[in-house]
Amino acid sequence: MTDQPDLLAQFSNALATRAEAAESAVVAIRLAHERHITGMLWHSGIVVASEQSLPRKDEFELVAPGGAVLSAKIAGRDPSTNIAILRPDAPIASPSIVAGAARTGAIALTIGADGTGGASARLGLVNLAGPEWHSSRGGLIDRRILLDVRLARREEGGPVFDASGSYLGMSTFGPRGQVIAIPTATIERIVPQLAKDGRIARGWLGVALQAVAVPDALRETADQSGGLMVMSVVENGPAAQAGILAGDIILSIDGTSAHRLRKIARHFGADSIGRRADLRLIRSGAVMTVQTTIAERHAA
Amino acid sequence: MSEAASRLAPAERLRVAVHAVDPRRRTALGKIIAEAGHVVVGVNDAAEVVLVDGDTPPGERRPVVTLGGADDDLPGVLSGNADASQIDAAIRAVAAGLVVRLPGTREGGFGAMRETLGHALLTPRELDVLAALAEGLTNKAIARRLDISLHTVKFHVESLFRKLGARTRTEAVAKASERRRDETITL
């Protein structure tokens, strides 16, 4: 026998202590049919949640740490970064939040709300910490954080902590059930704008686009090898009003080649609203230019 | 009617309340419900299911099937132009305690804007051929539909296989639909 402390027991106790403390960091957001998702307590009494999983309602019931039930109103949602915020009717104490930097291979403790005022915990690694990326809805996410952890639907939207208890971000589901974190930096950037305006303004044409190769016969006239084919046009949207048709292949928008999706996405920031945009496109074998006016995108 | 069937029939007849702001819609939906063999009851009467055109009135506690409502967390969610058979199926399912959703509403997850590399991008013609493949058409039928030669169809199919990294027609259709799901952007 030695007096050496058992490292595994220490590790386990440390995790359990962290999970217990994290109870004060989450709320349950009640949905219909006895279900819930998790909300993350943020600065100044705001609750942050995963936008994609929050039903389109104005008001929700929350279960605060300890089990008190109160109601909260949606104060803003941004599908482009998957962040929604709610304002509870009565104040809930916010924990102190320190942003942590995700490192590949580092431990990630993912916390969810259990629905009765307590927390549930998941242990995994940061599977991959990468550079910034653009979501399919055009939002800029400050870092790519993939987590090596399973997550229940009810746990989505909770905080992800690193080993020192700093916030790596908010857990959410990526494509094919992959678990990712929306970085704390992104939440810090988006929440104040959402709290002020209720939304993140973005430009909108009202089209769904898919990248296609320009047919060989038109490559010379088009002077590029790829474009974005219009798959659908939203009725009465700016594109529809300008006469854009499904099947048109957009080559460039105001001179920016439609080849580069990210550049195009940047073209549709808040400052684009109301601006005229020239769309160079291929329609029935001819290259033409159509003028549109960028409108404001409304919540999906 | 057999004894068993007559015993079953009343159980399948549901009491349905119809809520629609537009009186013409209310009449049309009531007709669909009645023709499906259910009983249309008043908005405030006891009902197994409430069929709502658009958004649900606040405080509704009974199981709701919405047609195009913004709340996607109700037991039944259909689009505004759902047909009579879909409405009937949704009402029966919701009355039986099931949840009804349109396909494609909750798949995906929050993903990145993905880009296929230039040389693997499909041409509009290849997309036409792909749509025909997805319908299970033979090369000959595709040639007829698109008014191109059989030789050209084979050329396009081979090119599709190469660009999508598929070995069979089914695999090509599956990979293309996955790509479409991941790479469609909305502006």
Strands A286-293 vs A295-296: parallel, antiparallel or unpaired: unpaired
**Residue written as token pair 């399948």:** B12
Same domain, A260 and A229: yes
Q: How far is B159 from chain A (nearest CA, A)?
A: 12
Mean pLDDT along residues A6-33: 94
**pLDDT at position A61 over 50:** yes
Query: What value of ipTM does the predicted structure carry?
Result: 0.72
Q: How far is B2 from chain A (nearest CA, A)?
A: 38
Same domain, A176 and A233: no
Give the domain extent around B144.
115-179
For the ranges A138-142, A197-201, A259-263, the lowest mean pLDDT is seen at A259-263
Of the candidates B124, B126, B187, the beta carbon closest to that of A205 is on: B187
Same domain, B94 and B119: no
Q: How far apart are the first and last CA of chain A?
A: 64
Q: How far is A140 from chain B (nearest CA, A)?
A: 10
Express each pLDDT in B134-165 by its tens digit: 898 999 999 999 999 999 999 999 999 999 98
pLDDT of residue A192: 95
Of the candidates B75, B112, B122, the beta carbon closest to that of A136 is on: B112
Same domain, B11 and B67: yes
Same domain, B123 and B87: no
Same domain, B68 and B121: no
Single out the residue in B47, B73, B101 at which a domain terminates. Answer: B101
Same domain, B123 and B52: no
Domain count, chain A: 2
Of the candidates A172, A231, A259, the beta carbon closest to that of B110 is on: A172
Nearest chain B residue to A132, by CA: B112
Closest CA to A181 of A213, A212, A151, A222: A151
Distance CA B24, CA B19 (A): 12
- A286, with CB counted inside 10 A (0-12, 13-18, 19+), is exposed
Identify the three-state secondary structure at position B171: helix
Q: What is the mean pLDDT of chain B?
A: 85
Same domain, A28 and A131: yes
Which token pair is B61?
């506690």
Same domain, B67 and B126: no
Q: Is the CA virtual torsion A178, A266, A300, A113 positive or negative?
A: positive
For residue A52, give the CATH number of its domain: 2.40.10.120
Give the model's confidence band at B2: pLDDT under 50 very low, under 70 low, under 90 confident, else very high: very low
- Do the chains contact at A178 and B185, CB–CB below 8 Å? no
**pLDDT at position A66 over 80:** yes
Cβ proximity of A31 and A153 under 8 Å:
no
- B111, with CB counted inside 10 A (0-12, 13-18, 19+), is buried
Express each pLDDT in B84-126 by its tens digit: 999 999 999 999 989 898 765 555 678 877 777 777 889 989 9
For the ranges B4-8, B43-47, B110-114, the lowest mean pLDDT is seen at B4-8
Express each pLDDT in A126-160 by its tens digit: 999 999 998 877 788 999 999 999 999 999 999 99
For residue A259, give the CATH number of its domain: 2.30.42.10
Distance CA A225, CA B122 (A): 11
For residue B156, give the CATH number of its domain: 1.10.10.10
Express each pLDDT in B55-94 by its tens digit: 888 778 889 999 987 676 788 988 888 889 999 999 999 9
Mean pLDDT along residues A284-293: 92
pLDDT of residue A51: 95
Distance CA A200, CA A138 (A): 11
Residues in A closer than 8 angstroms to B183, CB to CB, are 136, 210-211
How does DSSP classify residue A45? Answer: G
Distance CA A231, CA A225 (A): 19
CA angle A167, A168, A173 (to 5 degrees): 120
Single out the residue in B33, B68, B101 at which a domain terminates. Answer: B101
**pLDDT at position B1 over 60:** no
**Residue written as token pair 């690193």:** A162
Give the model's confidence band at B8: pLDDT under 50 very low, under 70 low, under 90 confident, else very high: very low
How does DSSP classify residue A56? Answer: S
| Rg, C-alpha atoms of chain B | 23
